[in-house]
Amino acid sequence: MINNGFLKFGTLTICTIFALIGAVSFEQLLSDNRQYGQRSDRVLAQTSEEKSANVVCEKGSNAVVTVKDGNGHGSGFLVSQDGLIITNAHVVDGSPSVVTVVFQDGKQVSADVIGFAMGGIDLAALKIQNRKNLPTLSLGSAGSAKVGYRVFAIGTPLDPENRDTCTQGNISRIRKDGEIQHTANTNQGNSGGPLLNAQGEVIGVNSLVAKAPVFDGAGNQVAYTPSGTGINFALPVEKVKSFLADVRNKRVSDQSTLPRKKDPTVATLSLNGQVINGSLAEGDRIAENGTFINLYQFQGRASQQLVIDMTSQKINSVLTLYQVSESSEGQKIKEIAENDDIGPGDFDAEIAATLPEDGVYLIVATSHERGETGDYSLRATAKP
């Protein structure tokens, strides 16, 4: 419609235009018209690309589940109609033999942890019993992942209520071991979820987010957080296919074969009042004052009101709440609130705060005394 109008305008007034400016040729006008046509083609192409992305996300989400074990959550995806699920080993490492999986529509069912990959590979299999005709994802062909290709990550980042979050990016690197580095944004909780190609096929299992340094107001590095780096990793589909063959032939371990070392990442905290049991122990991060610290993160909203409690019979609890922000030097943190003792004679800690902005927040759980160790309970509740 715009192009036709432009042609009519050119035909009726071409003589006047030449008389006024004497420098614009009819060929130039036609060239401009062709450029408008090219813009229209680009819009149509973009619309087509958006539609295909929507199909990948919506169809893929049907077969992606949230995996919950009572202490945390991860993601997984169905590979058979009778309920076989693939996830990361670290998602269910230490979990009970039966976990809960949550579907896209919120329906929850039980799933058995039926085996872990051998050789320290970060894969595990779950099985929903007595089910048929469940939605599944197809596995892509070996070697189909190429640098620059578009990819989609589906999972449940940070909070169980964020299930079926779909992000897209590109493959930025293929490591020598086949691991896929990509830019589709993932966070804790995405672990075990699928990395899909533009055809909706699984080409990897999201397993790791590169950690960025976190600095305090004085510029001192105090921690690492996996949020916001743009560098994400997925196990290649070749390892998934090999593991599935082992599952079918019952060549799997009944326990995780991952190397036993303390997880250095920042744990994710839900704001639903769920109690998390933690412990300050030898080998934990150490603050500048010599106290052991544990770190937790959550996604907060502007004006959200929170109450965070840390209770213990063993240690003198201390809580600090920080807001995480991006800067040219990396991620920095700004203190929002701190509490040592709830009141006279009560050595537990409690923070009541209103969040200033949308974004990522960090909780530091520690003790009052240098080198103090012991168990504690942590709970965060967001007021309606």
Residues with active-site annotation: 90, 122, 191
111: β partners: 99
Most distant CA pair in the chain: distance in Å?
94
Q: Which residue has the tokens 């042609």?
A: 7
Judge whether 313 and 331 are in contact, CB under 8 Å. no
DSSP type of residue 161 = G
Q: Which of 340, 346, 343 is nearest to 364 (CA)?
A: 340
102, HSE (Cβ side, Cα atoms, 13 Å): 18
**How crowded is residue 337: how many other Cβ atoms within 10 Å of its Cβ?**
15
Q: How far apart, in whole angstroms, are the C-alpha atoms of residue 278 and residue 254? A: 25
Query: Residue 239 corresponds to which tokens in the numbers above?
Result: 């390892």
**How far is the CA of 269 from the CAs of 10, 147, 189, 273, in angstroms?**
64, 34, 11, 10
Q: Which residue has the tokens 């994710």?
A: 268
Antiparallel, parallel or unpaired: β 330-339 and 212-215: parallel
For helices 26-61 and 2-21, the axis angle rounded to 10 degrees is 150
The secondary structure of 172-219 as a DSSP string is EEE-TTSPEEE-S---TT-TT-EEE-TTS-EEEEEEEE--EEEE-TTS
**Helix or strand (DSSP H, E) at 75:** strand 73-78
Q: How far apart, in whole angstroms, are the C-alpha atoms of residue 371 and residue 286? A: 9
